[in-house]
């Protein structure tokens, strides 16, 4: 049986420690900022993006690797006799999955999975795949099982300010202005059936208050939560906000691990600073 390599798009937002722990390789998405091309998580940071926006009011364009790039990326392993499990950014959000699937069909021995998710919603599936690889499971079975559980991911974020979504063309100027004026913090939820994002509950008031209510809403009274791990993923916020959410999680559920990660460039460029989400799985 061939050995299995685990791969994901950079938008899984796992930090270096978790990538090493689960032996994950990442294919960076492209970031075009000010006419220059960068690789997500390689030669540009979210801080660079925010600094550029503050100085020039310019946001980057993000794009998926093309099929040829995926072929080159996967080929280094398939040529060595490995099989590859690749977790892709949701097809409702990007052409990443389509392009990686074209590469997979060209090469063989590559199993590209449409996560129908983003950020550590993808990351949860990456870890599920890693645990199955560690058990010696064959790639085809891992592919089948991860596809079966991907609808169990609960992924959502609270947006502090809609300016970045407006600038990126993902909401109208009027909606952004009204939300900012009324101090509304919308919850953006991922529909795991389609991979699309939708607006959930809208919180009003200061961000700490909104985050506490959001955490309570997502975790209170849920009996089917998988308590192995939960992510707190943010796009740059205060340690106090992170600690507040962590404390609220500990009051509401007993997770074996609470993992705090910072979103990468692709996710951060769309949601803006101070965005924070909790991401976990149902049984």
pLDDT tens digit sequence for 7-31: 999 999 999 999 999 999 999 999 9
All residues at 6 or more sequence positions from 50 whose CB lies less than 8 Å from its CB, including other chains: 236, 268, 272, 273
pLDDT reported for residue 242: 97
Structure-model confidence comparison of residues 52 and 256, the more confident one? 256
Q: Which of 207, 225, 40 lies closest to 119, judged by CA?
A: 40
pLDDT reported for residue 272: 86
pLDDT at 280 over 70: yes
pTM of the model: 0.92
Q: Pairing state of beta strands 61-63 and 30-33?
A: antiparallel
Q: Which of 79, 96, 95 lies closest to 87, judged by CA?
A: 96
Question: For 55-71, what is each residue's pLDDT tens digit?
Answer: 888 888 889 999 999 99
Q: Half-sphere exposure of 76 toward its Cβ, with a 13 Å CA cutoff?
A: 9
- Its sign, for the CA torsion 47, 49, 50, 56, is positive
Question: For 182-195, what is each residue's pLDDT tens digit?
Answer: 577 889 888 887 77
Per-residue DSSP letter, 44: B
Q: Which of 7, 14, 8 lies closest to 263, judged by CA?
A: 14
């Amino acid at each position: 049986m061939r050995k299995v390599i685990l791969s994901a798009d950079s938008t899984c937002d796992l930090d270096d420690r978790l990538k090493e722990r689960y032996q994950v390789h990442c294919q960076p998405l492209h970031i075009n900022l000010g006419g220059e091309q960068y690789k997500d998580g390689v030669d540009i940071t979210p801080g660079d993006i925010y600094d550029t926006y503050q100085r020039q009011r310019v946001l980057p364009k993000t794009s998926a690797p093309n099929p040829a790039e995926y072929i080159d990326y996967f080929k280094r392993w398939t040529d060595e006799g490995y099989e590859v499990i690749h977790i892709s950014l949701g097809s409702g959000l990007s052409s990443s999955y389509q392009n990686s699937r074209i590469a997979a069909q060209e090469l063989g021995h590559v199993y590209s999975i449409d996560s129908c998710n983003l950020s550590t919603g993808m990351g949860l599936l990456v870890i599920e795949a890693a645990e199955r690889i560690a058990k010696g499971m064959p790639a085809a079975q891992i592919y089948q099982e991860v596809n079966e559980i991907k609808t169990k991911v609960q992924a959502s974020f609270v947006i502090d300010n809609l300016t970045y979504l407006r600038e990126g063309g993902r909401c109208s100027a009027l909606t952004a202005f009204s939300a900012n004026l009324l101090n509304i913090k919308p919850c953006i939820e991922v529909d795991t059936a389609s991979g699309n994002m939708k607006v959930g509950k809208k919180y009003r008031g200061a961000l700490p208050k909104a985050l506490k209510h959001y955490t309570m809403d997502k975790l209170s009274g849920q009996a089917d939560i998988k308590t192995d791990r939960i992510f707190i993923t943010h796009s740059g916020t205060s340690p106090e906000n992170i600690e507040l959410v962590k404390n609220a999680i500990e009051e509401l559920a007993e997770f074996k691990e609470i993992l705090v990660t910072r979103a990468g460039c692709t996710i951060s460029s769309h949601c803006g600073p101070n965005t924070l989400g909790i991401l976990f799985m149902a049984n």
